[in-house]
Amino acid sequence: MTTHTFDVVVLGGGSGGYAAALRASELGKSVALVEKDKVGGTCLHRGCIPTKALLHAAEVAEHVRDAASVGVTATLDGIDPAGVRAYREGIVAKKFKGLEGLVKARGITTVAGFGRLNADRSISVGDDVYVGADVVLATGSYSRSLPGLEIGGRILTSEQALALDVIPERVLVLGGGVIGVEFASVWRSFGSEVTIVEALPHLVPNEDIAMSKGLERAFRRRGIQYSLGVRFQTASQDENSVTVTLEDGKEFTADYLLVAVGRGPVTADLGFEEAGVKLDRGFVTVDQDLRTGVPGVWAVGDIVPGLQLAHRGFQQGIAVAERIAGLSPVNVPDSQIPKVTYSSPEVASVGVTEDAAVTEHGADAVASYEYNLAGNGKSEIIGTSGLVKVVRLKDGPVIGVHLLGDRVGELITEGQLAVAWEAHPEDIAPLIHAHPTQSEALGEAFLALAGKPLHAL
Ligand SMILES: Cc1cc2nc3c(=O)[nH]c(=O)nc-3n(C[C@H](O)[C@H](O)[C@H](O)COP(=O)(O)OP(=O)(O)OC[C@H]3O[C@@H](n4cnc5c(N)ncnc54)[C@H](O)[C@@H]3O)c2cc1C
């Protein structure tokens, strides 16, 4: 057994873990980063980046399909799965190389192997022991399934769906949250017959109801089918197809079933509880500064209850490294973190929904405004419909911004600034949005809420 001593030992090299490692080394700490697979984690290798590459390929297919509508002569001859794979893998490989170079350049010691937390807070990797004055747990998440629904064969998680080398003729998606909706969007653009099964009454059920309804309308127009409000009961498969039965007896049959019902924390059998780290339904219990109850042991990313997003992991990793170095970074509540669903159309939001605002503050204290993208020149040009919705407290700040439409994910940063800086629409109304941009739609909503609508009533 060899013992290695560092200022900081990080377990898990995904978004949360590598951000903690990078920032800690920048602040002069010696850092070991333990990773059993590849630095970059879920987001880079199986999540954000490869799925957004797929969605871009899907967007290109749609543009070619619709080219005649803008006077361009082109025909979509088909989708080449091997070509899409090469493009997607090329992007991931480039980003991975860049990240590996950065980690090396910062002088971080990468330890390849499976790590376990010991009772004395050290981390074992094989016969080696890594001792850190501080330890950051960042082991991430895995695709969940439902009781009685076994993954395998034609029943896929997002990992297997990404690796699929065929375009399914018919595909079922169990779960109408972010991951399910994004894959449904890709497959439809590639020509599949797609049906989404969601137990709750709406697609993207965590979003403002106006966005869910708008996405449902847009998906219906695209020919994406969905069943809402009825729970899954069973699934069976043979060598040709898979059949899903719902609790009301309805059946759906397709070539494949994607199970996208959420992600669970990777915290079992890693020695966490034996070392005194408290878990709640598998998630690590932390205080507002991301400290576990064990002195010097911190947790970041998807194992911490809340939004499971890469940029939240980055932010938490940075904050923990800074606290370890004696700095006092601000806490960023989940309500200030932007969320984007990158389907066509996209859904983007920050802050609270109108329903949540009314529940918290009462209907009389809340005002909202919806601006339809039909009135926005740039949206008309790129051929997207959609909606901007801003929620404010009456005579008070903006507390929620909700967007629907192609490319609106790029606009959410303005909403985030408004919500996090507690701006009043009156503060933003004099700030001019470039014409013609989609951001003007947001400007119109702020103008209207400030009592001076321009291109609206
Ligand atoms: C299909 C899909 C699409 C997504 N799209 C987006 C998106 O567009 N935007 C967004 O913000 N988020 C997206 N996410 C979510 C995002 O990927 C996660 O929020 C993010 O990766 C969480 O980072 P993390 O560091 O907590 O965990 P992870 O990225 O899961 O990293 C954990 C790392 O720890 C390693 N590890 C685990 N246990 C051990 C051990 N015992 N020893 C050594 N190493 C270990 C793992 O190998 C892994 O590399 C997506 C996720 C999926 C699945």
Delimiting residues of CATH 3.30.390.30 domain(s) in the chain: 345-449
Please state the pTM of the whole predicted model.
0.98
Residue 457, pLDDT > 80, answer no
Q: What is the pLDDT of residues 277-295, one digit of tens each?
A: 999 999 999 999 999 999 9
Question: Which CATH number does the domain 345-449 belong to among 3.40.50.1370, 3.60.150.10, 3.30.390.30, 3.40.50.920?
Answer: 3.30.390.30
Cα–Cα–Cα angle for 140, 145, 149, nearest 5°?
Answer: 155
Q: Are 399 and 354 in contact (CB under 8 A)?
A: no
Helices (H), 345-432: 354-361, 377-382, 412-420, 425-428
Question: Does ligand 1 have an atom closer than 6 angstroms to the CB of 42?
Answer: yes
Q: For 2-142+264-324, which CATH superfamily applies?
A: FAD/NAD(P)-binding domain (3.50.50.60)
Burial of 302 (C-beta count, 10 Å sphere; 0-12/13-18/19+): buried
Tokens standing for residue 194:
């797609």
Residue numbers annotated as active site: 435
CA 142 / ligand 1 centre spacing (Å): 8
CA 266 / ligand 1 centre spacing (Å): 10
Nearest atom within ligand 1 for CA of residue 19: 25
Q: What is the pLDDT of residues 237-261, one digit of tens each?
A: 999 999 999 999 999 999 999 999 9
- The pLDDT score that the predictor gives to residue 157 is 98
Range 155-261: architecture per CATH: 3-Layer(bba) Sandwich (3.50)
CA 53 / ligand 1 centre spacing (Å): 17
pLDDT bin (cut points 50, 70, 90) of residue 453 is confident
Write the single-letter amino acid at 413: T
E-strand stretches of 74-168: 109-112, 115-117, 123-125, 128-137, 141-143, 155-156
Cα distance between residue 140 and residue 137, in whole Å: 9
Mutate to test the pocket of ligand 1, among 15, 116, 157, 320 (most ligand atoms within 8 A of CB): 15
End-to-end CA distance of the chain: 74
Question: Does ligand 1 have an atom closer than 6 angstroms to the CB of 114?
Answer: yes
Question: Does ligand 1 have an atom closer than 6 angstroms to the CB of 346?
Answer: no
Delimiting residues of CATH 3.50.50.60 domain(s) in the chain: 2-142+264-324, 155-261
Question: Does ligand 1 have an atom closer than 6 angstroms to the CB of 265?
Answer: no
- The pLDDT score that the predictor gives to residue 456 is 78
Q: Mean per-residue pLDDT for 67-85?
A: 97
In whole angstroms, how large is the CA radius of gyration of the chain? 23
Mutate to test the pocket of ligand 1, among 42, 91, 145, 347 (most ligand atoms within 8 A of CB): 42
32: which strand partners?
A: 9, 109
Query: Between helices 15-26 and 310-324, what is the axis angle to 10°?
Result: 30
Closest CA to 290 of 301, 275, 279: 301
- Indicate the average pLDDT of the chain: 97
Question: Does ligand 1 have an atom closer than 6 angstroms to the CB of 15?
Answer: yes
Cα distance between residue 164 and residue 334, in whole Å: 34
Q: Are 376 and 440 in contact (CB under 8 A)?
A: yes
